[in-house]
Structure 1
Amino acid sequence: MTTADPTAVRSPAREGQDGLQRVFSRPRWFRGAGRDWADVWRYRELLSNLVRKELKVKYKDSVLGFFWTLVRPLLQLLVYSVAIGIFLGSGKQIPEFGIYLFTGLVAWTLFTDIIGGSTGSIVSNAGLVKKVYLPLELFPFSVVGASAVNFVLQLVVLLGAYVVTGTWPAPGDLFLVPLALLVLVLFATALGLILAAANVYLRDVQYLVEVGLLLWFWMTPIVYDWTKVQQNLQGAHEWLFQLYMANPMTNVVLAFQRALWPGGRTEQGAPFYYDGNLELRLAVVGAVSLVLLWFAQRVFARAQGNFAQEL
């Protein structure tokens, strides 16, 4: 043999026989995806344990525990409510401005928790990656599970806001919440898998993600209403508005606002109510996200062979 095969190692069972045993071969693009997902399903009990580990480690030795999950969105809500709602006067224009803000923030927080946590999930579990075999997709998926638990806790705060204000969302639009949530999770998980793999090879990725999410936040109608973008991009810049509306998180946030913001009821004549076909838009984004998830998993599967070496 004149060249060494980088995907082969000496087999302990054939010690002294100059035998090499292949332990990893780069998977093909269109084969093996079903086997990989089946492998993840077989390890579902381990996945649930990893989710619990994510939740416990995050608040280990913390006095307030899971309450810290609510601190960031509540602090953001307070800051934006004062700065934008009072000082800039948006609170006078948008009814139930606090709930309007929180419906967008709760969706955005879930998105950033999945993206940010998934990006560093392989690196932060380097010890397990190098020592034992398990489907490495479990680490980003455990972040998704832990983020979903935090999301449910934040919805309790939103429920409390309804009780305090005495206003409730229209039941006819509530079906948009699970649809938008599914789209968000599919899209964020796909990005998380790609970023988790990239971060193993280039640690600057985690810092680029922080900057990218900050820019993305302001390109999503959370602290302002979408009509301002439409008004400023009319005419020659109409294509920019269509590009803005193609942002998956724009559609998710608009769906959350329509479903969970009491001030968005059409019968109240709220000017910031988005009356477009959100069901169709979310279906399209969901289909694209599903394809992206398949692509992300194949990229992850092809890259994971060198994870242990890079770590």
Structure 2
Amino acid sequence: MRFDPVALMKQSETGSTIQLQTPGRSRGLRDVFSSSFLLKRIVDKEIQVRYRDSVLGLVWSYIKPAVQFGVFFLAMGVFLGLNKGLENYAIYMFSGIIVMNLFGEVFGNASRAIVGNGGLIKKIYLPRELFPVSSLLVAWVHFLPQVLILVVVNLIIGWHPTWVQAGSFFMGSFIISVFSLALGLIFGTANVFFRDAENFVDLINMVATWLSPVLYMWVLVEKSMGALVMHIYMLNPLTVAVELFHDCFWAPTAKYPINPEQWRVVPHLFTLWTPIALVITVATLVLGDFLFRRFESRFAQEL
């Protein structure tokens, strides 16, 4: 166990011995579950700091995606005419945008979490994984209002969700949450030693929306690049997560497509690509957790 003054006093009173562990060693993400109180405090702090002196506060969780949606819908839906060739294109696009918003916020903030909390890390020891995990929880605070908006709009136009669609939502949410956290652990570790990592994070976030079927249909990739490139394209867990959200929120509302091939989700989404995405996601998390634990003993020194 780590150094704990209270435990040390209790052990000294009973005359037994206590074994101390070298500071900086941890059990990785498992320490997060035993530090729920600290995690809650960090999440509260992050939300308060972000909206300090802000008039609108959490209302920005609605304004930012609304503006983003408006810009993309005008450019892609109106100017490029995608709104005419795809039924309920607004639902299609917004269900993908909220997935990428969650990814971008978790990945970006988790990658900067260690450097951003360097002052605290240098003063006391606490499980450093709490900081990137807190970025995930804060992102969900902003993600849920966006999902609520999408659900309300879908219900208005006659959406009747099934258990399969509910499963698509939870599976897509799991993939995007875990994958973005895993990348945050990897790049957050690299960012401590090489500040250039932040530039790579910004670059990935910038192109991520365009490398997933958020603004366009997956069939365009297959038609333009061929089946081989399409298979490589589907190895991206972000693509699978977006398609799972499309299956949940958009596909049931597109009841009268001009051409079914233009609107159905990727073939074998559940039987092939979702299991592959889960394997890649979990493997990335294991790698991220390993690298984080491997180098976290040097974080305070480097910061």
Taking structure 2 as the reference length, the TM-score comes to 0.86
Equivalent residue of 1:105, what SS?
Answer: helix
Offset at residue 293 of structure 1 (A): 1.0
Which residue of 1 is the match for residue 290 of structure 2? 298
Which residue of 2 is the match for residue 67 of structure 1? 59
Say if 2:172 is the partner of 1:180. yes
Which residue of 2 is the match for residue 252 of structure 1? 241
Which residue of 2 is the match for residue 310 of structure 1? 302
Report the residue type matching 2:229 in the other structure: L
**Of 99, 108, 115, the match for 1:116:** 108
Separation (CA, whole Å) in 2 of partners of 1:184 and 1:96: 24
**Of 265, 268, 277, the match for 1:274:** 265
Q: Is the 8 A contact 1:169 1:260 kept in 2?
A: no
Offset at residue 121 of structure 1 (A): 0.3
Offset at residue 161 of structure 1 (A): 2.1
1:185-224 deviation per Cα after TM superposition (whole angstroms, max 9, x unaligned): 1111111111111111111211221112212221111011
Which residue of 2 is the match for residue 212 of structure 1? 204
1:120-160 deviation per Cα after TM superposition (whole angstroms, max 9, x unaligned): 10111111100111000000000001111211111122133
Q: Is the 8 A contact 2:87 2:254 kept in 1?
A: no
Structure 2 spans left out of the alignment, 5+ residues: 1-19
Offset at residue 65 of structure 1 (A): 0.4
**Percent identity for Structure 1 against Structure 2:** 31
Separation (CA, whole Å) in 2 of partners of 1:208 and 1:38: 28
Separation (CA, whole Å) in 1 of partners of 2:243 and 2:253: 10
Taking structure 1 as the reference length, the TM-score comes to 0.84
Q: Is the 8 A contact 1:126 1:308 kept in 2?
A: yes
Separation (CA, whole Å) in 1 of partners of 2:187 and 2:211: 20
Separation (CA, whole Å) in 1 of partners of 2:253 and 2:190: 40
Which residue of 1 is the match for residue 28 of structure 2? 36
RMSD of aligned residue pairs (Cα, Å): 2.1
Separation (CA, whole Å) in 1 of partners of 2:146 and 2:131: 23
1:11-64 deviation per Cα after TM superposition (whole angstroms, max 9, x unaligned): xxxxxxxxxx98458x7xxxx7xx334432221111111112122211111000
Offset at residue 263 of structure 1 (A): 5.7
Equivalent residue of 1:134, what SS?
Answer: coil
Q: Is the 8 A contact 1:264 1:272 kept in 2?
A: no
Separation (CA, whole Å) in 1 of partners of 2:141 and 2:21: 40
* Count of aligned residue pairs for this structure pair: 280
User: Which 4+ residue blocks in structure 1 deviate beyond 3 angstroms?
Assistant: 21-25, 35-38, 262-270
1:213-272 deviation per Cα after TM superposition (whole angstroms, max 9, x unaligned): 2122211110111111111123xxx32121111111111101101111156656756422
Offset at residue 170 of structure 1 (A): 4.3
Which residue of 2 is the match for residue 284 of structure 1? 276
Offset at residue 288 of structure 1 (A): 2.4
